[in-house]
Amino acid sequence: MPVPRAPKSQVTESLVKANHSSGTLESPAGTGFDSLEIRRRFVRKVFTILSIQLSVTTAFIAYFSLSEASMRWVRQNPTVLLISSGVFIITYFIVYCNEKAQRNFPGNFILLIVFTLAMSFTAGALAAWNGTDSILLAFGLCAVCCIAVTVFPFDTQYEFTSNASVFYFLAIGITVSASILLLMRPPTPQKIYGAFWALAFLAYLKYDTKRIVEGESVKISPDELTLAVLRLYVDVTLVFLFATQMLVLNRHAPIDSTGGFSSQEIRQGFVRKVFSILAVQLAVTAAIVFFFCTPSVHAFLQLHPGVLVLTNILFVFSYFSLFCCAGLRRKYPWNWIFLGVFTLSLSCSAGAMASLYKLDSVMWTMATCAIVCLSAAIFAARTDYDITSCGGVLFLALWSLIIVSLLALVTGSAMVQKLHVAMGTVIFVAYLAMDVQQILGGRKVEIEPEEYIYAVIIIYMDVINLFMYLLQIMGERDH
């Protein structure tokens, strides 16, 4: 992958202009740029390491894209892709969150090497699912855009680093929309999603470059070399992956419009299996919620917030793993192991939220949620209206919910928050009814009988999300 590198003369001129008026080269936060020469060496070192990383990644992508044997191997062994994704996520958080890991030699370079190899393998394996032509187009588009965006901060007077909160909400939008589109899998919106988030990570690349070179509000210290390289490398690699998604989409969806039920007996067995697993999941969740509502556990969580961070990471990892890998969902016993991790981690998140409310209100919310879910399921089973044909409408409604939730976070308005909670409750009731019809069959869209793990996950997520929104409506805060 080509390296986004700016001419040295432009870097020097920009640095001189940025610091000439103030007469000093120290950052306002004392980040360690004591002289122009130190900053030059730091920038040179960052882009040198980045060029090596991108060369390694390019080699991986070329190998997986041009070798038919490697393509078949990746598609037949999705667990390897899952492991590499896990390794790069773990190393990323270690480097990003641990200041000692960023600065202590040689541990920082060992972690950087492991991260680069893992992410290069992941990028190459994902590229193997697409055609060579689309990869070459994405490669060229990524190179041109990254070089243009990297050079742009050297010339512009606009201070990108003063808008850190905008990029924070951008990251939230990326995570939420990725979850939605992995669930819905509509071809055209996913291409729009790829284009939108490729532009988003180009903005991140611009922001990080400005921080490394001459950020006035926020600078990266020369001691944080590993962090600087990590941020730029992730930006460029994700721009390439989203550009690939924008240009071609060749993934296997777990939903089959033709059904896949050869007989009524198979369908009934499938439905029984799904709702039996769901009952166990909800029983586990209820037990964990009540356990988290005890005073001693609540006090423990207040003192050890890292426990919740770990459960959230496990939830996100297991969630994306099960949605991305159809082979994993069907391969015993890994499908059950990941389903167990997914259930326990999401139950802990629900329990942590419930611990903020009084136990009586939590119990009333559970009862109300059970009544609403049962009513929605009975309606979906009895009605002649095909709710599965309204997937596009619900998808747009979900996007509206995301926008309203971001507005609630930014404005802090109580009215917007109430609107967000009301919309979330209605939307997830509708999703629950649609997913029940997909499981029962006989509609425009049905779920294959082999995809019982997928069916369990979507309906379990509907119920838990509905419970969390109802808790915000009915719950009484425990002060």
The residues near 434 (Cβ < 8 Å, ≥ 6 apart) are 380, 387, 388, 390, 391, 394
d(CA 405, CA 403): 5
d(CA 199, CA 272): 45
d(CA 22, CA 10): 20
Q: Locate tokens 């998808």: which residue?
A: 395
48 in the same domain as 150: yes
- One digit per residue, the tens of pLDDT, for the chain of length 479 reads 444 444 444 444 444 444 443 333 333 444 444 567 777 788 888 888 888 888 888 888 877 776 667 777 777 776 777 788 778 788 888 887 777 777 787 888 888 888 888 888 888 887 776 666 667 677 777 777 777 766 655 545 555 445 544 554 555 555 555 544 444 444 445 566 667 777 777 777 777 777 777 655 456 666 778 888 888 888 888 888 877 776 654 443 343 444 444 467 777 788 888 888 888 888 888 888 888 888 888 788 778 777 778 888 888 888 878 877 777 888 878 888 888 888 988 888 888 888 888 888 888 888 888 888 888 888 888 888 888 888 778 888 888 888 888 888 878 788 888 888 889 899 899 999 988 888 887 777 788 878 888 889 989 999 999 999 998 888 777 65
Q: What is the pLDDT of residues 110-162, one digit of tens each?
A: 888 888 888 888 888 877 766 666 676 777 777 777 777 666 555 455 554 45
187 in the same domain as 45: yes
236 in the same domain as 143: yes
Q: Tell me if 59 is assigned to some domain.
A: yes
d(CA 332, CA 26): 58
Q: What is the pLDDT of residue 183?
A: 44
Domain edge (last residue) among 220, 247, 274:
247
232 in the same domain as 308: no
Q: Tell me if 254 is assigned to some domain.
A: no
Domain, as residue range, for 200 = 8-247
**pTM to 2 decimals?**
0.49
In angstroms, what is the C-alpha Rg of the chain? 25
Decide: 62 and 197 in contact? Cβ < 8 Å: no
Decide: 359 and 293 in contact? Cβ < 8 Å: yes
State the first-to-last Cα distance of the chain, in angstroms, to the nearest integer. Answer: 54
190 in the same domain as 83: yes
Q: Tell me if 252 is assigned to some domain.
A: no
Conformational region of residue 259, where left means phi above 0, alpha means psi within -120 to 50, and beta covers everything else = left
Domain count, the chain: 2
Q: Tell me if 343 is assigned to some domain.
A: yes
Q: What is the pLDDT of residue 14?
A: 45
100 in the same domain as 27: yes
325 in the same domain as 193: no
Residue type present at position 183: L
Q: What is the pLDDT of residues 439-461, one digit of tens each?
A: 887 777 788 878 888 889 989 99
DSSP codes of every residue in 240-271: HHHHHHHH------SEETT----SHHHHHHHH
3-state secondary structure of 477: strand
